[in-house]
Amino acid sequence: MSIHTLSDITHSVDKELKEFNAVFKKSLKSNVGIVDLVTKYILKQKGKKIRPLLVLLSSKISGGITERSYRGAGLVELLHTATLVHDDVVDNADTRRNFPSINAIWKNKVAVLMGDYLLAKGLMLAVEYEDHDFLKVITNTVKRMSEGELLQIRKTRKLNNDEATYFRIISDKTASLLSTCCEIGAMAATNDSNKIKAMREFGENLGIAFQIRDDILDFIGKSSILGKPLAGDIRERKLTLPLIYALSKADNDEAKSVLKLIKNGGKNLDVNTVIEFVKKHDGISYAEEKANEYARKALTCLEQFEDCDAKDSLSGLVHFVVERKNNFFY
């Protein structure tokens, strides 16, 4: 089976995704007017539901989609949406998916409380149906995501990130949730610990490959990615893998000069100089090698599963992630 587009990837669970979307929309209804108003606004933004997709595909490849699969998908989507709302407050972002952000319309206090509400709804979903195994996984994920974000903030301020710390940050910030999607999906379908472990590791490797590719696109993208400007990470003083590698290969004086440029540049930073520096020292090609390495690890995790359309979709998603020209995950 040849997979080239996102619709090819979702094809094997299109019916289940539609069912999930209907249930998810209903689960967000509230009797409190402002809560219902904001949740309706969130639903208008129509994200691609990649995380529920991962839960459903992981269930399907592991034994079959169950009622627990839908609850797990709802849990991770609620968590993900909560983190996006909170991230926009932390980043002082004005837009999300080409819409004004929650904090831009209703201000930070409402945005923070809405993020808390969405997280609580997810946790209540797990408690109500006694999905305590889901709860254990998801709470650890929230911890990891928070630690990753805080570590990145610290490294951004000091402008001293290294490769080992970079991988720790992206593992916690990005890969942890994708790993959780796949683990919960497998847990909803089977008690086979080997299958659950394989899907957890698949999600982790997929998440790392995705984030590296995202960081590469920050240097080579030809247009904005959902409103994100080219070299946005550099402007925010985030040292990602292409730049970290280039700094490690440049001589000391040149590396110091580039770091000084980034430190003092702000909005007026000459990003082209930094981009050319990264290309000169093979930062892009090194990061591409690393993304492909983690993609191969993800594909290896699928080898123990029998051939099926869900396996084709997951394999196709891996290739799609490392070959994409823009950001489709949000």
Encoding tokens for residue 45? Answer: 């933004």
Phi, psi of 61 (to 5 degrees): -75, -25
pLDDT for position 6: 81
pLDDT for position 226: 46
d(CA 235, CA 137) in angstroms, rounded, equals: 35
Task: List, for the chain, all residue ranges whose pLDDT scores fall below the cut of 50.
Answer: 1, 223-227, 330
Going along the chain from its start, the domains and CATH numbers come out as 6-222+289-323 (1.10.600.10)
Map tokens 């090194």 to a residue.
286
Over residues 63-118, the pLDDT tens digits come to: 999 999 999 999 999 999 999 999 899 888 888 877 889 999 999 999 999 999 99
Amino acid at 270: D
User: Do residues 189 and 63 lie in contact, with contact meaning Cβ atoms separated by under 8 Å?
Assistant: yes
Beta bridge partners of 96: 99
Encoding tokens for residue 316? Answer: 């196709």
pLDDT for position 217: 93
Amino acid at 11: H
Bridging pattern class, strands 99-100 and 95-96: antiparallel
User: Residue ranges of the alpha helices (H) in 13-131?
Assistant: 14-27, 33-44, 50-62, 67-90, 102-128
